[in-house]
Structure 1
Amino acid sequence: MKEIDLTSGSIFKKLIKFSLPMIVGNFLQQIYNLADTLIVGKYIGANALASVGSVYTLMTFITSIIIGLCMGSGAFFSLDYGAKNHKRLKEDIVLSFIFILSVSAIISIVIYPCMGIILSILQTPSTLMALTKEYVTVIFSGIIFIFLYNFFAYLLRSIGKPYVPLVFLGISSVLNIILDIWFVVSLNKGVFGAGFATVISQGVAGIGLLIYSIIKVPIVRIQKEKVDLSFKRFREIVINDLATSVQQSVMNFGILMIQGLVNSFGEVIMASFAAAVKIDTLAYMPSQEFGNAYSLFISQNYGAKKSDRIKNGTKISFIVSAIFCLVVSAIIFIFAESLMGIFVESFEKEIIIEGAKYLRIEGAMYVGIGILFLWYGYFRGVNKPLISLILTIISLGTRVVLSYALAPTTPLGVIAIWLSIPIGWILADVVGYFYYRKNKL
């Protein structure tokens, strides 16, 4: 597949062409959990749905650590590629692979002994503890596959090959649906079967992309010439990757804290939140991936020292993202109940009503998070990941503080949690604009 060079040609066309496979790829990645949620909710019941939904936020947090590290390295890869520095690119690939593989292995070793404590902190109800542990036991065995897929996906995207990860993810997503139906519906394996189907599918995507990269991407292969592995460069990669990873994981840690507060409101709110979050994630996912594509656009042109192209690309990206988010907000607001009905049986009226409330309150302000994803991408692309971290802390900190201050003690109740989310987005957007003006190229 032909590489896409983001440093020349029509900015709008290149951004759309580059972001589309990333958007479709993220959509397929969401299918892993969507398939679990849909099949578990329809064939096992509301308790199983609540259990899987609760673990989803935990798994997202753990996964975000690895994805953040890979994303940080991807920015380095893209800078090297834009600067045509292939020797440095080879060195960065090797050093990043060693570092992120080590972190993934440590997470895999540590997570299981701490699982009981983590589920208790999340206020998992005792009636759901057995189901939740059963699901989480198998789902976390796929961490190494998550590393492999994301590392090589970000590498291939950084060198202009966004379609390859999409192909492997498409195959594994279809496989996941087939295995979900087989294990849960045909073999009656419950939540364990749903988790096992996901891990097998993740393995196909991760190992498949590893094999493809070794065969088709010469710079990945181990060759006879010596690769300089300097400690100074390793330190730079670690600092950059950790900053990006902390930004991603802080974002999801805040969501994890919200999950604990949501759990305290009972099983109906848990189930409605589990289903609504899936819809929510799919709704603003295209703007998130557009922000990631924009980040790679920024980093390639930053490496190539094309500041005018960066300025023009920034203007175009903000207009495109804002229009998209406004359209999606309107759709979510109008069809909230119908969308909830995809994941919840029609007789579960209370769950549908509560989920629709969440979607209408938060979904009305998707433009806030669409802009925030672009700020994340911009500062990551110009090698200032700490600013992205600051924006995340502002956004999530606002959400957590307002939720815990208002939800348990005021008549707003759980509505306070839903309102705090867009408030956090808007505050972070304002600060992001301030930093942009201050650090403008």
Structure 2
Amino acid sequence: METTSKRKSGTTDLTVGKPLFQILRFALPLVLGTLFQQLYSFADTVIVGRCLGTDALGAVGTTYSLNFLILGFVQGACVGFGIPVAETFGAKDKGGLRKYLFNGALLCVVLSVVFTLFTTLMAGPLLQLIHTPEELYADAVLYIRIIFLGIPATVLYNYASSVLRAMGDSQHPFYFLLAASVLNIGLDYLLIVSMGMGVDGAALATVLSQLLSGGLCTFWFFTRTAKQEELTFRGQSSLLSAGHCKRLAYIGFPMGFEYSVSAIGAVIMQDAINLLGSTAVAAQTAGEKIRQMFTLPMESVGMAMATYVGQNHGAHRTDRIQQGIKDGCTIQLTYCVAAWVVIFFVKPYAVGLVLGDADPAVTAGAIQYLAIMSMLFCFHGLLMIFRNTLQGLGYSVQAIISGVGELIGRSLGGLLAVKTGLGYVGICLSNPFAWGLAMLYCMFMVRRMLKRED
């Protein structure tokens, strides 16, 4: 059968059609979106590294784990709020769909207020807790506080784009993210190069561009998607519903916690990197930025799986879910091989682009980081398939435990780096350890839960 799609709004029914084709078609805009998103993050790194120096680059890099911890929770929760939306959309339940959309928006408002107040007040103490080097501390605090003040923009984009994707529209969030990427790069150049700002310019550019993409997603939903799907928010659908909030919280908050539990491991690993000195911090920061360019497409395929599984779960199509898992694994493993080949040839040039004429020790460390990580990408790719399948089935609590596996893996890597002779190699192995442990757990749980569904 052919897919059911409303071209004007972009919504797509993923409960029909060949799973491999559906996943690829839905994932492609997500992959392109994350690549462009990472492109402007990469542009931040290049402009900061070349125009402000390696200390400024290290200051931005040392905030990554806190970014992951806080914004990861926000992103995970917003993605989780989209799962009941995907289920009711797949089940053709418009009444439930309207209620989940409205109550999800209310939860997002609460999330924005609480997290913005807490994180901006605690930014300094948290950076001290992870032993941020003294020479990097002032810039790191300045950068992360502006990012945290922009949490409402982060929530707006992640919830609005999650809703559009849950209803089968992955194209328009990509278009809006592309516009935000161009704006971010332009603002980076304007604020840092032309106006002489420091890391605060990079942070401000990121927040403003995310506000644009979130505003565009919201505008599209109300002007096109809601009209095409005949969604009106009046009467009972626009009232607080304890039952719908409970269901949203049951799925969304555990997904946020799963991101955060995993991020705690990243915080522990960042602490270990900081103890190795500013050279290790700069090398890992440069290598990590390039690594993300290659692994974010895997995460996009995982996001596509969550929506695909959510819609088919709502339609009670377990057979399509099982076939989708097989096809998703094929996509990921094929991509991992291709990514390794590309990194093998381009890593010296990519590191040189980021660091310029930096300390040779920093350059060598970044190249070593990429060489080790790229050989183990398959763990990350398969983890994204099985974890997002769990989430699409609504088993978010179980997904938290996979985050514990990541915490253990990253903590082990940090321990090996500081307490044994491995040093920086232990840092390079931390993420693959984390991915592998979490992947094994998720594979086991998906098999178990699908048997329960049958």
TM-score between the two structures when normalised by the length of structure 1: 0.95
Structure 1 residue corresponding to 2:159, chosen from 151, 166, 173: 151
* 8 A Cα contact 1:73 1:96, kept in partner: yes
2:122 maps to what in 1? Answer: 114
Q: Following the alignment from structure 2 to structure 1, what is the Cα–Cα distance between the partners of residues 266 and 75?
A: 16
Q: Following the alignment from structure 1 to structure 2, what is the Cα–Cα distance between the partners of residues 202 and 431?
A: 34
Q: Following the alignment from structure 1 to structure 2, what is the Cα–Cα distance between the partners of residues 238 and 193?
A: 35
Which runs of no fewer than 5 residues in structure 2 stay unpaired?
A: 1-7
* 8 A Cα contact 1:183 1:189, kept in partner: yes
The 10-residue stretch of structure 1 (223-232 or 99-108) with the greater mean CA deviation from structure 2: 223-232
The 10-residue stretch of structure 1 (356-365 or 84-93) with the greater mean CA deviation from structure 2: 356-365
Q: Please give the secondary structure, in 2, of the residue aligned with 1:124.
A: coil
Q: Please give the secondary structure, in 2, of the residue aligned with 1:160.
A: coil
Q: Following the alignment from structure 1 to structure 2, what is the Cα–Cα distance between the partners of residues 237 and 230?
A: 11
2:447 pairs with 1:437: yes
The 10-residue stretch of structure 1 (131-140 or 164-173) with the greater mean CA deviation from structure 2: 131-140
1:407 maps to what in 2? Answer: 417
Q: Following the alignment from structure 1 to structure 2, what is the Cα–Cα distance between the partners of residues 279 and 351?
A: 14
2:205 pairs with 1:175: no
Q: Deviations over 1:88-136 (max 9, x none)?
A: 0110111111112201211111112212211101211111122222222
Aligned-residue offset at 1:289: 0.6
Q: Following the alignment from structure 2 to structure 1, what is the Cα–Cα distance between the partners of residues 241 and 147?
A: 36
Q: Following the alignment from structure 2 to structure 1, what is the Cα–Cα distance between the partners of residues 243 and 234?
A: 23
Aligned-residue offset at 1:436: 2.7
2:227 pairs with 1:207: no
The 10-residue stretch of structure 1 (151-160 or 230-239) with the greater mean CA deviation from structure 2: 230-239
Q: Deviations over 1:280-313 (max 9, x none)?
A: 1111111111011011111111111111111111
Amino acid at match of 1:263: N
Q: Following the alignment from structure 1 to structure 2, what is the Cα–Cα distance between the partners of residues 158 and 143?
A: 22
Q: Deviations over 1:297-349 (max 9, x none)?
A: 11111111111111111111111111111221232234322221121013431
Stretches (4+) displaced over 6 A: none
2:59 pairs with 1:48: no
Q: Following the alignment from structure 1 to structure 2, what is the Cα–Cα distance between the partners of residues 67 and 148?
A: 10
Amino acid at match of 2:209: S
1:240 maps to what in 2? Answer: 251
Q: Deviations over 1:149-168 (max 9, x none)?
A: 11010100111111111111
Q: Deviations over 1:158-202 (max 9, x none)?
A: 111111111111111101111111111111112122222222212
* 8 A Cα contact 2:161 2:214, kept in partner: no
Q: Following the alignment from structure 1 to structure 2, what is the Cα–Cα distance between the partners of residues 378 and 223?
A: 30
The 10-residue stretch of structure 1 (48-57 or 219-228) with the greater mean CA deviation from structure 2: 219-228
1:343 maps to what in 2? Answer: 354
Amino acid at match of 2:283: S
* 8 A Cα contact 2:313 2:393, kept in partner: yes
Map residues 340-379 of structure 1 onto 2, 5 A cutoff. Answer: 340-379=351-390
Give the % identical residues: 28
Structure 1 residue corresponding to 2:434, chosen from 410, 424, 429: 424
The 1:49–1:404 alpha-carbon spacing in structure 2 relative to 1, beyond 3 Å, is closer
* 8 A Cα contact 1:168 1:208, kept in partner: yes
Q: Deviations over 1:3-25 (max 9, x none)?
A: 22211112211111100111111
1:98 maps to what in 2? Answer: 106
The 1:202–1:434 alpha-carbon spacing in structure 2 relative to 1, beyond 3 Å, is closer
1:226 maps to what in 2? Answer: 236
Structure 2 residue corresponding to 1:313, chosen from 296, 321, 324: 324
Q: Following the alignment from structure 1 to structure 2, what is the Cα–Cα distance between the partners of residues 308 and 417?
A: 41
Q: Following the alignment from structure 1 to structure 2, what is the Cα–Cα distance between the partners of residues 102 and 220?
A: 27
Q: Following the alignment from structure 1 to structure 2, what is the Cα–Cα distance between the partners of residues 223 and 139?
A: 32
2:286 pairs with 1:279: no
Aligned-residue offset at 1:393: 1.0
The 1:78–1:420 alpha-carbon spacing in structure 2 relative to 1, beyond 3 Å, is same
RMSD of aligned residue pairs (Cα, Å)? 1.7
Q: Following the alignment from structure 1 to structure 2, what is the Cα–Cα distance between the partners of residues 24 and 356?
A: 25
* 8 A Cα contact 1:329 1:363, kept in partner: yes
Q: Deviations over 1:32-52 (max 9, x none)?
A: 422221101011101011011
Q: Please give the secondary structure, in 2, of the residue aligned with 1:113.
A: helix
Q: Following the alignment from structure 1 to structure 2, what is the Cα–Cα distance between the partners of residues 425 and 87?
A: 39
The 10-residue stretch of structure 1 (130-139 or 120-129) with the greater mean CA deviation from structure 2: 130-139
1:11 maps to what in 2? Answer: 19
* 8 A Cα contact 2:74 2:155, kept in partner: yes
Aligned-residue offset at 1:428: 2.6
Q: Following the alignment from structure 2 to structure 1, what is the Cα–Cα distance between the partners of residues 185 and 154?
A: 18
1:160 maps to what in 2? Answer: 168
Q: Please give the secondary structure, in 2, of the residue aligned with 1:439.
A: helix
The 10-residue stretch of structure 1 (51-60 or 99-108) with the greater mean CA deviation from structure 2: 51-60
2:27 pairs with 1:27: no
Q: Following the alignment from structure 2 to structure 1, what is the Cα–Cα distance between the partners of residues 421 and 169?
A: 52
1:388 maps to what in 2? Answer: 399
* 8 A Cα contact 1:375 1:388, kept in partner: no
How many residues of Structure 1 are paired with residues of Structure 2 in the alignment?
440
Map residues 249-260 of structure 1 onto 2, 5 A cutoff. Answer: 249-260=260-271
The 10-residue stretch of structure 1 (58-67 or 212-221) with the greater mean CA deviation from structure 2: 212-221
